[in-house]
Amino acid sequence: MTLLSAQGITFRSAEGVLLLDGVGIELAAGEVADVTGPSGSGKTTLLRALARLLPAATGRLVLAGEDSSAIPAQAWRARVALLPQTPAIRPGTVRENLLLPWRLKVHAAEGSASAPDDRALLSALDSVGLAADIGLDRDAARLSVGQAARVALLRVMLTAPEVLLLDEPDAALDEESATLVATATAEAAARGAAVLRVRHRGSDGRAGRRLRLAGGTLAEVSG
């Protein structure tokens, strides 16, 4: 079943470069897809467009049969969650960072998933190999780059979005951590999320589909 559908997504950079030229993509619930392409080809731009985080992008977006125009931007982003490439860790503890979404109106609203308790947070840290290293009370400013990247990923995953858009989620990680992150991501897909990853590393065997973005157009890579 198609969860997220994008058609004719077009975006021209401020310098006039046509980064997305009528791009179309369909993501099904439970699937993991990877986007590859040369540096500067617009992979990050595509993820931002799908998260409705790209000013002046045009095209049609449909989430679970509902047109984007019918969904407020904040509600859309809570359901179609983008993890930016640079982890934005805020001052405070690891716990405060993981619970940050629930300080926002859209996640605190009635009908949203309630904030996880410490046990759930520790279990999440454990799933990406962090529980033994850092704990919930660690000052987040003291996290290493790889730890910060995983905390930022968990912060997004804990909100249980329907679509996960991950911009190089394993770029700052060693092989072992990258494998744990890939497993956690695949588990999110197994629970029904659609996952779109931008990756530079070689295939990790998790993606059912590989797409290549070049010259503003997106094409399936066979094999």
Partner 1 sequence: MNELAGGVVEIGAWQLLLSTGFIVVVGVLSLRLALGLERDLAVATVRTYLQLIALGLVLRWVFGVDSAWLVIAILVLMMAAAAQTIIARAPDAPPGIFGPGLVTMLLTGFTVTFAVTGLVIRVEPWYEARYVIPIAGMVLGNSMNGIALALERTFADLDARAGEVLALTALGATPWEAAADSVRVAVRAGLIPTINAMAAAGVVFIPGMMTGQVLAGADPLEAAYYQIVVMLMVSAATAIGSVLAVLLSFRRRFDAEGIYLEKGYRSHG
* Smallest separation, CB 99 to partner 1 (Å): 11
Written as six digits, the tokens of 6 are 């994008």
Interacting residues toward partner 1 by CB under 8 A: 13-14, 51-56, 73-75, 77-78, 81-84, 86-88, 90, 100-101, 103-107, 152, 155-156, 159
How big is the chain, counted in residues?
Answer: 223
- Return the number of the residue (152 or 195) whose C-beta is nearest partner 1: 152
- Return the number of the residue (103 or 200) whose C-beta is nearest partner 1: 103
- Return the number of the residue (37 or 101) whose C-beta is nearest partner 1: 101
Q: Using CB atoms within 10 A of its CB, is residue 84 exposed (0-12), middle (13-18) or buried (19+)?
A: middle
Cα 153 → chain centroid = 8
Residue 23: name the closest of 40, 46, 47 by CA.
46
* Smallest separation, CB 56 to partner 1 (Å): 4
- Return the number of the residue (51 or 194) whose C-beta is nearest partner 1: 51
Helix, strand, coil share (%) of the chain residues, nearest 5: 35, 30, 40
How many angstroms separate the CA atoms of 183 and 211, rounded?
Answer: 20
Residue 195: name the closest of 33, 82, 81, 3 by CA.
33
* Smallest separation, CB 210 to partner 1 (Å): 24
* Smallest separation, CB 221 to partner 1 (Å): 27
- Return the number of the residue (3 or 83) whose C-beta is nearest partner 1: 83
- Return the number of the residue (60 or 175) whose C-beta is nearest partner 1: 60
* Smallest separation, CB 74 to partner 1 (Å): 5
- Strand, helix or coil at 43? helix
Beta carbons within 10 angstroms of residue 41's beta carbon? 20
* Smallest separation, CB 219 to partner 1 (Å): 26
